[in-house]
Each structure stands twice: as structure tokens, then as C-alpha cells.
Amino acid sequence: MAQIIGGYFTSHVPGIGGAIVRGDQDTPYWKPFFDGFPPIREWLAEAKPDVAVVFSNDHGLNFFLDKMPTFAVGAAATYDNADEGWGLPVYKSFTGHPALSWHLIDALVRDEFDITTCQQMLVDHAVSIPFELAWPGAESWPIKLIPIAINTVQYPLPSPKRCLALGRAVNRALQSWGGTERILVCGTGGLSHQLDGPRAGFMNPEYDMFCLDNLAADPEALTGHSAEQVAELAGTQGVEILNWIAARGALGDLPLTQISRNYHIPISNTAAASLLLEAA
Amino acid sequence: MAQIIGGYFTSHVPGIGGAIVRGDQDTPYWKPFFDGFPPIREWLAEAKPDVAVVFSNDHGLNFFLDKMPTFAVGAAATYDNADEGWGLPVYKSFTGHPALSWHLIDALVRDEFDITTCQQMLVDHAVSIPFELAWPGAESWPIKLIPIAINTVQYPLPSPKRCLALGRAVNRALQSWGGTERILVCGTGGLSHQLDGPRAGFMNPEYDMFCLDNLAADPEALTGHSAEQVAELAGTQGVEILNWIAARGALGDLPLTQISRNYHIPISNTAAASLLLEAA
Amino acid sequence: MTPDPCYADESAAIRRTIPLFDGHRAARGYALNAMCFSFNDAANRAAFRADEDAYCARFALTEQQRKAVADRDVLAMLEAGGNVYYLAKLAGILGLGVQDLGALQTGMSLDAFKAMLTAWAEKIPNGKHA
Amino acid sequence: MTPDPCYADESAAIRRTIPLFDGHRAARGYALNAMCFSFNDAANRAAFRADEDAYCARFALTEQQRKAVADRDVLAMLEAGGNVYYLAKLAGILGLGVQDLGALQTGMSLDAFKAMLTAWAEKIPNGKHA
Ligand SMILES: [Fe+3]
Ligand SMILES: [Fe+3]
């Protein structure tokens, strides 16, 4: 039986990629953020997951406003990263797991999630930076990828409640998968930040703590807000917490142990965090 | 208050377009099919709808397997028809109703339908042929368009139950729209037919009658099957009945009067039908 | 590949027997369907006509797909993961309508296939033409 | 346009005040965002740099959008329907990072903007850095 071994959550700010390129990990500015990762890397090296189901959002690399899906699930054999236009290195390609992808897609549509199925999909820094943070400098990614993209760009966004429900449906689907894979669930993005408008630079440490304190034990607490209220609380890009909420849902009802948690302000314009939850 | 005035349902077989180009409407082969339309045209001329919400499926013009949405809703100011590769004339462009589209999109996402929002969308013969049948030779289409595309191409398809629920959510959204438009709901495609494989040429008049007999009064009767069972009953392309089921849902709970109904075999490889339901 | 419980039910059985265009086929047929999707553009249709081999190579058709196209073998195209909505655009280039396709796939003559289509009318319950 | 009940509630109010990128803005900004989306391709970035006027014309920017881009006025780009995820690609061409954007939009100096970002750390409840 396939096993969900835990959840890995992290900010995915492009600036992290720049810091890695420059080798800035131990500078006073970056160290407090990168300090969150050694325990995550150790745990991953020990736990040896086979496949990651990653909830993240596209930043205008793969999806445009001509066709903007609420939820998109990848079903490709390979996912490429690509030039996003502002100078990050192009990261290694990712190996998919089409059989498990299609199993998820079948189960999600049966569960009345109206997903968009993507047999071809570019993944951006929202996937590659979390992978690079987890497996820095790896020759090839040691784990397969199933990307699930949530619309955090164009309103209406799905509500936190709907995102948690999506995650839970993914959990049910993973539980009914007949394979023997060790499955890691990832949620990327956030925490509070806002890039646009007169409120640019806004953060909300109090709301971030509320999310970090409740995510594992009481994820429902995060679903009392509309997506618009989350934007008000967390900033216009802070709505990326939706990816964390969906990933939390995909961990299901297993008891969760917090292996690692880190929160630091500021990274770029962002309140940055990482979190590792082990499923028992 | 906006008013839903009725539902117009029809097959959309490309061959109908060929027959129109050749002026074959009164030939023995085509007349029994085209005979269904004079009462529909008269009713439309009288009822003067302002906007049509059209449920149909793309046939590989606008969507490909790279990104295949379960449900896609148009939000464009204009929708173009285009070359589909096998010789139909390119039809006139359609004027959209972006404000009402976005109202629907907001309401559907709030109602937990995970639609794909399309600010740009080509519409194929599944929209243009029903329009040409309703307003033959019109200088410009006398009615605005909001297209809603349902995946009938790549399994998993949404179930008949989910399609009816989508339609009902559209109905609720239309009822909460503050405009004064007279709204026509359309469902296109079907009825039973199969183009591919050793079962090519399959039809099922009995299932078609079951659908035609129950659609208005008891649409739930059509939701007892899975999408796969519908394909078995109606043929691989007969699953286009999903568009009819969703459109029926969008008519809501108003009493419906059958103004016109026609069923004829064969048109091209298809059991063809048209149906007009007036909402009171 | 391990058994997939989602396929271990009636829906799965129907998908296999009809067969239906699900993930197994969609994955297998991607290159062929991508080529056919490109035929929405007249210039691409002309390029295929001008040099079929080069055009198929451009879309990296599998050997099985290339042979099915070269043989004009519709059942083989389906078996190679082709979907009829996309294949119809190739059929258009080849001058084949849906009834020609039907005849090819069922092994009937065109006239016999057309007669079969017409014969379905006899099954209309109680002659309900309206 | 008649009032839209979907907007006549708290979510609607939040969308207007923050403001959020909803249908109103997405429709208005389509051309500008389409141009910025094209900047994923290095050749397109070079084409913009080589002839900004011609490139903007190719994407049929509105007059308001063209002026906002010419003026390097980020708030005006947003007002013209630009979305920051796409605008960031234009900012890259102009050599502006997210902190430059923040300074431009808030009217602060870059240093003042950076200091403001750092100051948020003081609001972390109970110094919970982990
Ligand atoms: Fe992000
Ligand atoms: Fe059709």
C-alpha cells in the first residue's frame, strides 16, 4: 500500500533562487531563512519519499488569462521548468508519475472536482525552488512529481474551504492507490506578502502565526475566511496559503508530528516560512 | 429582472452545415430534420431573447489535451468561429456579454464549481450550427453568447449528475443577475451516435426517447448513469447529451411547456433531434 | 504497474470494452493527436500533404502511429491512442467523411454502412418521430 | 451596467478596496497582460527592447496602457488592468526587482521601503521565529 509519509511546506519566493545562485545562504540576511532547511533535508534523506504531490500556483509561465483553471492536475511523464523572464536559472526537468496522476484525476472528477487535466505543463519557481531547497545541487531530482496548480491569480479564487476539500479528495485518492510508493505532500508559497499597489510591502505576522499554529491540528480554522478575506489578511500574494491548506488536506486525518518549523521576516518582500509535518 | 425564457436544444452535426451550404434543406434526406426548425424560429422571432447561455463541447478547435478543462466558461467580448480542418464555412463571430459572464463565473466558483475561465475562446460547429439553424442567413447574430464548454472528449468526463448540478448553479446565478435581459438557454449535440471503432454507426433510439421524454419533467431520471454508462447507451459521441442535461438544469424549476420536438434517423451518423421548451 | 482501484469497477470495464478515450489512451496518443490538432491550420494541412514523412517526424509520432497513418488504417490509429475528434481533421485531409470512416472501421462497404445507419430508424419506439 | 449582486457584499468591497485582480480588471488589462506574458520568451524581450513602440502596437495596448508603460508608472499599469504576476516580467526587462517596484508604488525611497519590510519582524507575536 502507498503511504503518505508527511507534508513539506515552504515559501517559494524567486529571490531564494537568486540567493542560492550567489551562494548567499550563510549571509546575515539569508541565514535565518535557510536555517529552516537542514532538518527538512535530513528527514527527507531518511524518509526517502518516491513521489511528491505538490500544490502550488502558476505565476504566468504555463497558464494565461485566455484559459485560467481553478484547479489543474498534471498528467505528464516529464515537466520542464522554463525561463520566466526575470533571470532565474532554468532548473532541471521533473519526472512525472502518469499512472498515479490519472488515478488522482479519475478520483477527483468522480468526487465532483471539476479539474483541468494537463498532459503538458511547465512548472515555475513555485515547484523548482522548494525542490532545490530540499535537494540542493542534486544531479537529478530524487523524487517524482505530480503538480497540482491552484488559481491564486485571477478572482474568483477557490475558497480556503474548497481548497481543503480538494486536498482531502486527493488524500482519499492516494489511499485508494494500489502502488507501494512513499508519498510526500508539498504546499508552496506565502506566507503574508503583497507585491502590488499602494499596500506593497504589507505583511501580517499575526495571521501567519494563526496559520502556522493551526495548520496541523485544526486546518478548519483556516477555512473561516473567504479568499478575499485571506487577501486582506495576508496580502495579495499571501493568498498562496491556499496551496498550504490544500496540501494539509491531502495529509488526511493521520496524526501529524511537527519535525521542523521556521518563520522569518523579511525575505525579499515576504514573510517566509518552512514547515515539516511527519505523518504517523 | 433578467428572465429565463426557455431552452433550445439541438444536434450540431457538422453535416448539417454542409447541407445548408448546398441548399439541401428540402431534399428527402434532410427535410425530416430541418422540419423541426420552423416552429423554433417562429418562437424565437416572437420571444426575442437577448442572450444565449450555450452548453456545448469543443471538438478540438479551442482545447487540446495539454490543458483539458472539465467545465470552461467564456468571459470574452467576442468569440470567433474558425477553420476546423474539414471544410465547413467559417461562421460569423459572436458578441459576448462579459459582465454577465463574470457574474456567472463568480457565482459558480462560490458554489464550488472549479471552472476554467476563458477570456479568449474559439467556438466551433457545436455553437455555430445551432445558431445558423435558429437564425438562418442572419446578417449578424441577433443575440449575445455566453459559451460553457463541457469535456466530452477525454475521460474522466463529468457525470450527468454533476452536469445537472452545474446547470442548476447557472440557473441560480442567472436568477441573481440584476439585468433585464431575456435569456435563452441552449444545449447542443447528440443524440445517440458513435464515430469511432468497430461500433461506429451505433445508435440507440430507445435511450434517446428516454432522454427526450424525461428531460423537461424529470431530469433526475437522466442522472442515474455514470458518464461511461451514457457512452455505452448513447455511443461515444452520444455523451454530448451531457450538454443537454446541463442546459436543462439551467432552466431551473420553472414549469416548462414543450413548443416543439423532432427526432429523426439518420443525419450523417447520428440520431438527430431538436427540442424547444418554453419557461413560464 | 499496480492495479488501480479506480479502474476495478464497472466504469473501468466499460472504458476497456467500448473502448473509451481515457488516460491510458490519451497518454499513448498524445503525439498523434497533437499532429491532428495542428490541422486546424490550413498551412499545416498543406505541409502534411507536401511531405507527410517530414510532418509526422516533426510531431515525433511513434512507429505504431506513423504506420497507422501511412496505412490509412483508422482502427490502428485509434489503437495507437488517436481520438476521433482530432483524427477527423486528418480524415478531412484524406478526403474521408464520417461515413467513409464508419465503413472503414466496420469493414462494410460504404453503401452497406449507410444502409445500417438508416435501418436504426426502424428501432424508434412506437414510430415516435417527434 | 446594472448592479451585480455578487459584488454587493463584503467580498466585493474587499475586491474594490485592496484592489484585487477580478473580472473587471482582467478584462480591462488583457492586452497589457498578454504582452507581459510574451516576455517569458527571450526573443520577445529583445524585440521589446529594440522597438518598444512597435512591440506595444503588436499587442494592441490601449492608450492608457501604452502611456503607463512608457512612463514606467507601475501604479498606472495596475490601474490599466495589469496583474503583478505578468508585470513582473516587464519589470525584469526594465531591471526592476520586487523591492524597486515596492518603492515605486509606495512613493518611498528604496532604503525606506526595505526598512519598512524589515520592521515587520517587530510585529511577530512573542518573538515566535519558529
Ligand atoms: Fe509566489
Ligand atoms: Fe459533436
Interface contact flag, B67 A114, Cβ < 8 Å: no
Task: Tell whether omega for the bond before B108 is within 30 degrees of 0, i.e. cis.
Answer: no
Q: Are B175 and B254 in contact (CB under 8 A)?
A: no
Distances (CA, A) of B93 to A179, B76, B116, B139, D59: 50, 12, 22, 11, 21
Q: What is the DSSP secondary-structure string of C74-126? A: HHHHHHTT--HHHHHHHHHHTT--HHHHHHHHHT--HHHHHHHHHHGGGGSGG
Give the pLDDT of residue C6.
46
Consecutive H or E run containing B150: strand B144-150
Give the pLDDT of residue C128.
63
Chains in contact with C via at least 3 Cβ–Cβ pairs below 8 Å: A, B
Collect the ranges in chain A with pLDDT lower than 70: none
List of domains in chain C: 5-95 (1.10.700.10), 97-130 (no CATH)
Q: Is the pLDDT of residue B102 over 80?
A: yes
Query: Could you tell me how many CB contacts below 8 A there are between chain A and chain D?
Result: 143
Give the pLDDT of residue C3.
43
Give the pLDDT of residue C130.
56
Average pLDDT over residues D106-128: 93
Average pLDDT over residues D5-9: 55
Q: Is the pLDDT of residue B243 over 60?
A: yes
Average predicted confidence (pLDDT) for chain D: 92
Q: What is the Cα–Cα distance from C61 to B3, expressed in whole angstroms?
A: 51
Q: Is the pLDDT of residue B14 over 60?
A: yes
Q: Is the pLDDT of residue D5 over 60?
A: no
Average pLDDT over residues B232-251: 98
Closest chain B C-alpha to D4 CA, distance in angstroms: 6
Q: pLDDT, tens digit, for every residue of C24-50?
A: 999 999 999 999 999 999 999 999 999
Q: A125 catalytic, yes or no?
A: yes
A59 neighbourhood in chain D, CB within 8 Å: 85, 88
Average pLDDT over residues B65-90: 96
Average pLDDT over residues B241-251: 98
Kindly identify the ligand whose nearest atom is closest to the C-alpha of A270.
1
Q: D touches C (3+ CB pairs < 8 Å)?
A: no
Q: Which of B105, B110, B178 is opposite residue D3, by nearest beta carbon?
A: B178
Distances (CA, A) of A79 to A100, A128, A240, B239, C104: 15, 11, 21, 32, 38
Q: Is the pLDDT of residue D6 over 50?
A: no
Q: A193 catalytic, yes or no?
A: yes
Could you list the residue range(s) of the whole structural domain that residue B174 is in?
3-279
Average pLDDT over residues D69-96: 96
Q: pLDDT, tens digit, for every residue of C82-127?
A: 999 999 999 999 999 999 999 999 999 999 999 999 999 999 997 6
Q: Which candidate, B198, A235, D111, B262, places its Cα nearest to that of C18? A: B198
Interface contact flag, A85 D83, Cβ < 8 Å: no
Q: Is the pLDDT of residue B55 over 90?
A: yes
Give the pLDDT of residue C126.
78
CATH number of the domain to which A8 belongs: 3.40.830.10
Rounded (5°) CA angle A229-A116-A166: 50
Tally of structural domains, chain A: 1
Q: Which candidate, B92, B152, D99, B246, places its Cα nearest to that of A109? A: B152
Give the pLDDT of residue B94.
98
Q: pLDDT, tens digit, for every residue of B196-233?
A: 999 999 999 999 999 999 999 999 999 999 999 999 99
Give the pLDDT of residue D11.
92
Q: One of A97, A103, A193, A264 is an active-site residue; which one?
A: A193
Q: ipTM, 2 decimals? A: 0.96
Enumerate chain B positions whose Cβ falls within 8 A of a Cβ in A. Answer: 63, 65-72, 105-106, 109-110, 112-121, 154-159, 162, 165-166
- Confidence grade of residue D129 (pLDDT, cut at 50, 70, 90): low
Q: Is the pLDDT of residue B64 over 60?
A: yes
